[in-house]
Amino acid sequence: MAFKSSPRALAGAALAFVCLATSATAEPYKIVGFGDSLMAGYGLDAGQSFPEKLEQAMRAKGHDVVIVNAGVSGDTSSGGLARLDWSVPEDADLVVLELGANDMLRGVPPQITERNLDTMITRLKQRPVAVLLAGMRAAPNLGPEYRAAFDAIYPRLSEKHAAPLYGFFLDGVAADPRYLLDDRMHPNAAGIDRMVERFVPHLEAVIAATPAGSAP
């Protein structure tokens, strides 16, 4: 026995097939954590770095993301600029840019740090890749003038490039020994969990505003 389908039914079936095919072939949202030892996972066991824990947290909330760890311990903004092009894959959708802490610890003039970060953001946007800027703050012992100049870098670049800013990458962890390794500088595993918990809502907002392939 033959069955006849109406044009509307056929159109609905075709649309359903297209939707299924699209969802089956959709690529995950690709994020690169580009930074220094704070991103690399200095002093932590395998699987405990910020990018790894962040990916786990995002996937647990239903986000199809892949987060690559492109952190290099000891890296400065100058080092990051030198390796930017080959460290960030061509198919990246978003870069979490976290650099400047080592510049600050070495007393690098803030204008150099700002120039390097500015160049990195410009290059990424030209590719185009979206950028979420992770801010850093200067240590109090560097003096009020240096601290004011350094701390202003990140809000200024965020405004210049219309790039979302996470104000302080170590928010909730800095200066709290419960969340730091014995060096009192790098987060321990509990510190990473705390950082991830605070960071997730900001990342979700950025992803919602910049779907894959829509970077400026």
The answer to whether residue 93 is catalytic is no
Q: Which among 37, 49, 77, 158 is annotated as catalytic? A: 37
Q: Which among 85, 103, 186, 214 is annotated as catalytic? A: 186
Which of 200, 113, 215, 112 shows the shortest CA–CA distance to 161?
A: 215
Alpha helices in the chain (DSSP H): 7-25, 37-40, 50-60, 77-87, 101-105, 110-126, 144-151, 153-161, 189-209
Return all residues near 124 (Cβ < 8 A) that are at least 6 apart. 84, 88, 95, 97, 130, 131
The answer to whether residue 151 is catalytic is no
First to last CA, the chain: 56
Q: CA angle, 103 as apex, 36 and 79 as ends, to 5°? A: 55
Q: Which among 6, 23, 182, 183 is annotated as catalytic? A: 183
Cα 7 from chain centroid?
Answer: 47
The answer to whether residue 186 is catalytic is yes
Instruction: Write out the catalytic residue numbers.
Output: 37, 183, 186
